[in-house]
């Protein structure tokens, strides 16, 4: 049974109710757009091109926050669509992260369009499972047609449509939204292969809890928000173990400023800066590949726990990781290394897609320029600094859905 079946209509609204509540479709500026009746859900089932087993007007790949937010607007526009996800359950991308993960964005900045993040305290930092459950109830509440356990193996252009090779057979679509996440392929330095094989190594995406490490001291490489949280968890779980956190200083962000959560200040200002503006380009250049600034509450917890902060891990000496400490680069005697060294995008499964020097599809605010009808949502800096955040993805989702409706109306 797919997640679509298991999700079904939620207690608050069924798909039919949602559709009947929809006023005129809106464009990215909030203006009504004219959409042919056929594009508002009353059209006949799309014809099935050769090579496909079924067809949809629109397919969204990925049922994380980006895909769901896009689905929310597609539903409001009355479009025919499906959301495919490799995971079985909505929210699983979060459930597969480490056990004690807490969001760095407070509840008031973790909600998607149409449904606030549920919390009595707007400054609450949600747990991993609260985030996952929120996404699941979001999909249910708006009756979003999620088909779980469905991997899209390749995507290619065929005569006037897109062809998706999925684990449940080929699907044709007129338009496709790629919402597969900004965090795709884990990155670890090549020199990790030279470490003593007895040292347990794992990437942050594989870390679940301190028990998953070998007994003994640990090095966490990458001192961003993930590395800081993980190093603290390891140390707090076993205070006798030495834990080093290695990496360049990515800066500190106060959790509270003038009595308010920092996101109260950032949300209407920095986070809304447009990527293509001068300021946006500056912020993007400064932060790309450097890691986000660490929130001060996470930093204070790390210091209180007794994690030892060291400089960058520069290589391997005597089979052990060598780190910068003062002017030296000693090799550390550790049993485990956790690489919190980030991810790189991977769109190689989209055949022939033009990408830029960062392997990101060439796009204009989510519209893939070379391939009309193909869109990306949820990427870092897609249109703003906030584009990959829960509280920021909605703007891009709304824009992309409106562009899909316009294109649908004009064909």
**Which residues contribute to the site for ligand FAD (CB under 6 A)?**
61-67, 84-87, 93, 97, 101, 103-105, 110, 151-152, 179-183, 226, 378, 388-391
Residues 115 and 388: their CA atoms lie apart, in Å, by 18
Q: Taking the complex as a whole, how short is the minimal distance between the CB of residue 23 and ligand FAD, in angstroms?
A: 27
Bridge partners, 169 (sequence order): 166
Q: Taking the complex as a whole, how short is the minimal distance between the CB of residue 112 and ligand FAD, in angstroms?
A: 10
CB closer to ligand FAD, 42 vs 154: 154
| Whether the Cβ atoms of residue 238 and residue 210 lie closer than 8 Å to each other | yes
CB closer to ligand FAD, 67 vs 170: 67
CB closer to ligand FAD, 66 vs 220: 66
Q: Taking the complex as a whole, how short is the minimal distance between the CB of residue 389 and ligand FAD, in angstroms?
A: 3
Q: Taking the complex as a whole, how short is the minimal distance between the CB of residue 38 and ligand FAD, in angstroms?
A: 27
Q: Taking the complex as a whole, how short is the minimal distance between the CB of residue 149 and ligand FAD, in angstroms?
A: 9
Give the number of other Cβ atoms within 10 Å of residue 379's Cβ.
Answer: 24
Give the number of other Cβ atoms within 10 Å of residue 357's Cβ.
Answer: 5
Bridge partners, 61 (sequence order): 84, 178
Residues 386 and 268: their CA atoms lie apart, in Å, by 10
Distance of CA 311 to the CA centre of its chain: 28
Joined together, the tokens standing for residue 211 give: 């028990």
CB closer to ligand FAD, 87 vs 398: 87
Distance of CA 164 to the CA centre of its chain: 21
Bridge partners, 244 (sequence order): 219, 308
Residue among 405, 395, 394 at smallest CA distance from 138: 394
The DSSP element (H or E) to which 374 belongs, if any, is strand 374-376
Q: Taking the complex as a whole, how short is the minimal distance between the CB of residue 354 and ligand FAD, in angstroms?
A: 19
CB closer to ligand FAD, 35 vs 84: 84
Bridge partners, 127 (sequence order): 102
Q: Taking the complex as a whole, how short is the minimal distance between the CB of residue 118 and ligand FAD, in angstroms?
A: 15
Bridge partners, 336 (sequence order): 200, 218
Report residue 108: phi and psi, to 5°: -65, -20
Residue nearest to ligand FAD (CB): 64
Residues 320 and 310: their CA atoms lie apart, in Å, by 15
CB closer to ligand FAD, 110 vs 246: 110
Q: Could you tell me how many helices (H) and strands (E) the chain has, helices first? A: 10, 24
CB closer to ligand FAD, 72 vs 183: 183
Q: Taking the complex as a whole, how short is the minimal distance between the CB of residue 91 and ligand FAD, in angstroms?
A: 8
Alpha helices in 162-292 (DSSP H): 225-237, 262-266, 278-287
CB closer to ligand FAD, 239 vs 289: 289
């Amino acid at each position: 049974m797919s997640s679509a079946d298991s999700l079904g209509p939620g207690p608050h609204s069924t798909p039919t109710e949602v559709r009947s509540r929809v006023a005129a479709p809106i464009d990215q500026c909030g203006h009504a757009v004219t959409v042919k009746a056929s594009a508002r859900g009353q059209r006949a089932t799309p014809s099935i091109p050769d090579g496909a087993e079924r067809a949809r007007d629109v397919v969204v790949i990925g049922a994380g926050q980006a895909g769901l937010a896009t689905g929310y607007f597609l539903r409001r526009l009355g479009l025919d669509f499906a959301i495919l996800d490799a995971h079985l359950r909505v929210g699983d991308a979060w459930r597969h992260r480490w056990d004690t993960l807490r969001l760095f964005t407070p509840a008031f900045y973790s909600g998607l369009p149409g449904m606030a993040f549920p919390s009595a305290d707007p400054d609450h930092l949600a747990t991993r499972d609260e985030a996952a459950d929120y996404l699941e109830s979001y999909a249910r509440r708006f009756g979003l047609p999620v088909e779980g356990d469905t991997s899209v193996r390749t995507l290619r252009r065929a005569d006037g449509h897109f062809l998706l090779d999925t684990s449940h057979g080929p699907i044709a679509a007129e338009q496709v939204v790629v919402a597969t996440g900004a965090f795709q392929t884990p990155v670890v330095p090549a020199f990790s292969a030279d470490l003593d094989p007895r040292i347990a190594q794992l990437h942050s995406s594989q870390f679940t809890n301190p028990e998953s490490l070998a007994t003994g001291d640990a090095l966490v490489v990458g001192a961003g928000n993930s590395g800081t949280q993980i190093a603290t968890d390891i140390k707090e779980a076993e205070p006798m173990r030495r834990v080093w956190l290695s990496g360049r200083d990515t800066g500190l962000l106060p959790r509270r400023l003038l009595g308010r959560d920092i996101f109260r200040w950032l949300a209407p200002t920095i986070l809304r800066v447009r990527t293509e503006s001068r300021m946006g380009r500056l912020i993007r250049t400064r932060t790309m590949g450097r890691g986000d600034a660490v929130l001060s509450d996470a930093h204070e917890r790390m210091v209180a726990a007794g994690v030892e902060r060291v400089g960058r891990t520069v290589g391997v000496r005597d089979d052990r990781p060598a780190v910068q400490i003062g002017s030296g680069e000693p090799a550390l005697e550790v049993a485990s290394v956790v690489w919190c060294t980030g991810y790189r995008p991977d769109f190689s499964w989209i055949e022939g897609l033009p990408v830029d020097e960062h392997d990101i599809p060439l796009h204009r605010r989510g519209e893939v320029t070379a391939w009309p009808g193909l869109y990306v949502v949820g990427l870092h800096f897609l249109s703003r600094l906030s584009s990959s955040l829960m509280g920021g993805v909605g703007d891009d989702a709304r824009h992309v859905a409106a562009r899909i409706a316009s294109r649908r109306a004009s064909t």
